[in-house]
Amino acid sequence: MIKRIVVLFACTIPFGLFAQEKWDLRKCVDYAMKNNISVKQADVQSRLTALTLKQAKLNVYPSAAFTGGLGGQFGRSIDPTTNQFTTTQLLYNNFQLQGGIEVYNWGRLKNSIQTQQFNFKASLVDVEKAANDVALNVATGYLQVLASKEQINIAQIQVEQTKQQYTITKKKVDAGALPELNLAEIESQLATDSSNLITAKSTYDVNVLTLKALLNLDAALPFEVDTPPVDQIPLESFADLQPDIVYQLALVNQPLQKSNDLKIQGGEFAIKTSKAALYPTISVGYNLATSFSNSLKAVDPTSYVLNGYNKTGLITSVNNTNYDVLQPSYSYNYTSKSFGNWWQGYGSQLDQNFRQSVGFNISVPIFSNGINRIVYEQSKINLQGLKLQKEQADMTLKQNIYTSYANAVASYEKYIAGIKTVASSQKAYDFSVKRYEVGLLPTIDLITNQNNLLKAKLQQLTNHYDYVFKMKLLEFFKGQGLKL
């Protein structure tokens, strides 16, 4: 598996300094993993999943909410402190702290946490998968840059050879040893070779731009890749890359396979979570509240006046003598309780109206328009879909591995055959040069042999890089990284 390696200078040195050092595959892959947009998007999704997991864990803790209100009432209304109807305008103020906790919910919260934990782990693996896909694309682009760079070298050599032939032919034409037609044919070939060189350079520039896009680099930034000799790129043997061995390793190491396994485990807990919603829930709730209203009256202690005594209708007997029981009659003034009179008004009323409650609640789902039942059935179908997705992914992986192995064998055989083709074309070209120099070979035949050699070299270059890529692809399936 391709592991992330921190690129020490990626964020610390100016972009202008990138041109001072060449980019090898390791640096390209590391930089792409850090800056490619697809990897960043997968990382964003993983962070969102982490928040969902955090919320699932917080759901097991008690809830608490504080509310407060201040306002005025007019007309016929209920006094919030006495619960009596009143038509008096009043100012009220109330406070309340309430909350609760689910005591028993058939494992709904616990299973929800397990579901989100597996989903979070799967999202981390999805980030790894995105990074692996980018790494493979970068390796492909890197090899294409190397191949197009080698094509430039071959085209340049071809141009130099044609120039030498032009010089030799011109001398012979000037000396009258060869007709001017031969020189014209060489000039035509030189124009063709120059055009091929321009095409090779254009292809190289396009491949570099494609690689920059994968790295999320500015297209105008100077950029040069390190060019390791293709024949020195380390390759594992076919014995170590047998498709059955690679497939077994891929099932364990490939991020997609690991992600599918984790999602299936999460889907199993999701079924338990949705099933718990079909059963009763027991919870404990509490409530603390108090209120104030300026409609309540307070007696003014300085306004007491004794007006006399009134008969109560009761009689008491003392020494066989009956006496009426009298009741003193007072008059006094009322004052409204207010915020300004804290202890005798506002504060005392908040204290007197302070009330508390705690209780158990049970919620039994009887009929909810079938929502809970449908969610439960959906979770079971979703698990079946996840299992089918895993089965399809495993089948596709196996097919790709066996196909890649067959392609690797074919590309190796083609590469070996190309070696012989280049050798025979080189020999034919060397003989034709010697015969041409002594005037025993027409110019057109020399050009034909030269073109055959060029085609053989270009084809062999393609064969070699194709063989290397096919082998690297098999190594990639093993999940042990890409090495160049």
Work out the angle between the directed axes of helices 243-253 and 443-477 (0-180°, nearest 10). 50
Spatial separation of the C-alpha atoms in residues 266 and 387, rounded to whole Å: 12
For tokens 């190491």, the residue is 253
Give me the pLDDT at residue 248, please.
Answer: 93
Nearest alpha carbon to residue 94 among 355, 344, 336: 355
Return the SS3 of 358: strand
1-35+105-269+369-484 CATH pick, 3.40.50.720, 1.20.1600.10, 3.90.1150.10, 3.40.50.2300: 1.20.1600.10
Spatial separation of the C-alpha atoms in residues 33 and 138, rounded to whole Å: 10
User: Is the pLDDT reported for residue 52 higher than 90?
Assistant: yes
Percent of the chain with pLDDT over 90: 44
**Mean pLDDT for the stretch of residues 195-208:** 94
**Mean pLDDT for the stretch of residues 206-213:** 93
pLDDT confidence tier of residue 230, bands split at 50, 70 and 90: confident
User: Is the pLDDT reported for residue 484 higher than 90?
Assistant: no
pLDDT confidence tier of residue 273, bands split at 50, 70 and 90: very high
Helices (H), 175-253: 180-215, 243-253
Give me the pLDDT at residue 335, please.
Answer: 59
Angle at 220 between CA 151 and CA 11, to 5 degrees: 110
pLDDT confidence tier of residue 475, bands split at 50, 70 and 90: confident
User: Is the pLDDT reported for residue 81 higher than 80?
Assistant: no
Give me the pLDDT at residue 345, please.
Answer: 67
Give me the pLDDT at residue 318, please.
Answer: 79
- Give the helix/strand (H/E) hosting 429: helix 371-437
Nearest alpha carbon to residue 466 among 397, 404, 424, 420: 404
User: Is the pLDDT reported for residue 8 higher than 80?
Assistant: no
Give me the pLDDT at residue 209, please.
Answer: 94
User: Is the pLDDT reported for residue 332 higher than 70?
Assistant: no
Contact 273, 115 (CB under 8 A): yes
Domain residue spans of the chain: 1-35+105-269+369-484, 299-336
The pLDDT tens digits for 108-148 are: 999 999 999 999 999 999 999 998 888 888 988 988 898 89
Give me the pLDDT at residue 381, please.
Answer: 97
**Mean pLDDT for the stretch of residues 72-90:** 75
**Mean pLDDT for the stretch of residues 407-422:** 93
How far CA 117 is from CA of 48, 51, 112, 264, 468, in Å, comes to 12, 11, 9, 12, 40
The pLDDT tens digits for 154-194 are: 889 889 888 988 888 888 888 887 788 888 888 998 999 99
**Mean pLDDT for the stretch of residues 345-361:** 86
- Give the helix/strand (H/E) hosting 286: strand 281-293
The pLDDT tens digits for 231-242 are: 778 888 898 899
pLDDT confidence tier of residue 5, bands split at 50, 70 and 90: very low
Give me the pLDDT at residue 267, please.
Answer: 96
How far CA 370 is from CA of 270, 276, 364, 382, in Å, comes to 18, 14, 14, 18
Nearest alpha carbon to residue 90 among 291, 332, 300, 299: 291
Contact 192, 158 (CB under 8 A): no
Give me the pLDDT at residue 459, please.
Answer: 87
Spatial separation of the C-alpha atoms in residues 434 and 390, rounded to whole Å: 64
Residue 426, burial from CB neighbour count under 10 angstroms (0-12, 13-18, 19+): middle
Give me the pLDDT at residue 307, please.
Answer: 77
Nearest alpha carbon to residue 256 among 115, 382, 398, 143: 398
Contact 276, 106 (CB under 8 A): yes
Using only C-alpha atoms, what is the Rg of the chain?
45
Give me the pLDDT at residue 394, please.
Answer: 95
Higher pLDDT, 252 or 300: 252
The pLDDT tens digits for 417-455 are: 999 999 999 999 999 988 888 888 888 888 888 888 988
The model scores a pTM over 0.85: no
Helices (H), 254-370: 255-276, 347-352
